[in-house]
Structures are given as structure tokens and as C-alpha cells.
Amino acid sequence: QQPPGQGAYQSGPPGGGADPAPINAGPAPAPAPAPTAPAPRPLPPKGSNIPTAMQTLFDAHNAHRARHCAAPLAWSPKLAQAAQSWADALKAQGCKFGHKPRNPFGENLAAGTSGTLDGQAVADMWYDEVKLYKFPDGGFSMQTGHFTQVVWRQTTQIGCGVATCNGMDIFVCEYDPAGNVGTMYRQNVLPTGCR
């Protein structure tokens, strides 16, 4: 089993039908429409406790999650502080780029020339790994771990931070509960349309 952090599927009731109408009961009711994938959930309102610089990153995560029938994440000040602390630690280590050791949370990192990445670009870069994921049983891969953490259905909270060092912005997002866990991919990483 790989470490966590680097999206559960329930189908609706079987397509059922109505009970037969009694004789002379008038016209039969229209048949119920065939079941479809659940509609993506609307984005939550902009959170007043989310730093302005992180709002776009937060909103982009939830937009990507909605495509895969994952509930919107809640912003966690605790996770944001942990993410900011790790971004600051990487800066203090001379712009080192790496995951936090023994981290109890899921974690995604991104870096780019200062001013060239914003929250949308960071979330899109992580999400773009969807092109490499093998649905429905993709499992863990170093090439898709950012994507799977973004859409992991059992994850409910996120917090992010950013530090600038030597002309580079380092973004860190922490997730709780962590994604990318063992044999739980099929239930947590759904294809678009939620099939």
C-alpha cells in the first residue's frame, strides 16, 4: 500500500417501474424517467474565512470534484495553517521541493516561476492528470496521484498555502481525510458523469 496523499461510488436504486394501474383508473401515469448520474452539486458560496489568494484554488478544486460526483470540500483553517507552515519550511530550506515527512494528511505540491501560476492554473495542472488515469480501476500511480487526491470522494476538507522563494512560487494543499488509499480507488475516483 502506498502512502496516502500524494476521490465513494454508490449507484442509485435499480430502475424499478410503477405498480400496475387498476382497471378503469383512467390514463396511466407517464413512466418515470430512466435514472441518470447525479447532477453535479453547486459550488458552495465563497467562504469568508478563505484567504483571497486561495479562493480561486479552493473554487477550482470544487469545480473539478463536481465533475466526478464528489461533494464540495470545506475550507479548513487548520489544514491551511499546516500547508502554509510546510510551504514556509520549504522556503527556509532553500526552496527545497518535497512532501512533508510523516504527514497525516493528503498533500499536493506545485511550483512555478513566481507570478505565472494562480490557483486555477495549479488546480488545473493537478486535475489534468485525469487524461492518464485508467477508469474504473486505475489505482495509485505517480503520474495521477495529484488528480486522484483532488477528486477523492472521502476527502472532506482542504487547506492551502503558498510561499515565494528565489523567484519561484511553491503551492501546498493539505487534504483530510487523505486520499490515495490502498484498494479504495474504485469507490473514490469516479469517471466524469459518475458512471
Task: State pLDDT tens for residues 63-94.
Answer: 999 999 999 999 999 999 999 999 999 999 99
Pairing of strands 74-75, 157-165: parallel
CB 74 within 8 A of CB 50: no
| Distances, alpha carbon 77 to alpha carbons 56, 61, 85, 175, in Å | 16, 16, 12, 12
Residue 46 C-alpha cell reads as: 465563497
Q: Is this structure's pTM higher than 0.85?
A: no
Closest CA to 6 of 148, 122, 188: 148
**Tens digits of residue pLDDT in 105-116:** 999 999 999 999
User: Is the Cβ–Cβ distance between 175 and 82 less than 8 Å?
Assistant: no
> In terms of Cα–Cα distance, which of 2, 5, 165, 185 is closest to 82?
5
Report the pLDDT value the prediction gives residue 53, as an integer from 0 to 100. Answer: 83
DSSP state of 135: S
Backbone angles phi, psi at 162, to 5 degrees: -145, 145
High-pLDDT (> 90) share of the chain, %? 67
Gyration radius of the chain over CA positions: 20
How does DSSP classify residue 31?
Answer: P
Does the 59-188 domain belong in CATH 3.40.50.300?
A: no
User: Residue 137: its pLDDT value, please?
Assistant: 83
Q: Has residue 34 got a pLDDT over 50?
A: no
The answer on pLDDT for 3 being more than 70 is: no
Q: What is the residue-averaged pLDDT of the chain?
A: 80
Among residues 84, 74, 96, which one has the least CA distance to residue 172?
A: 84
Domain boundaries, the chain: 59-188
Judged by DSSP in three states, 163 sits in strand
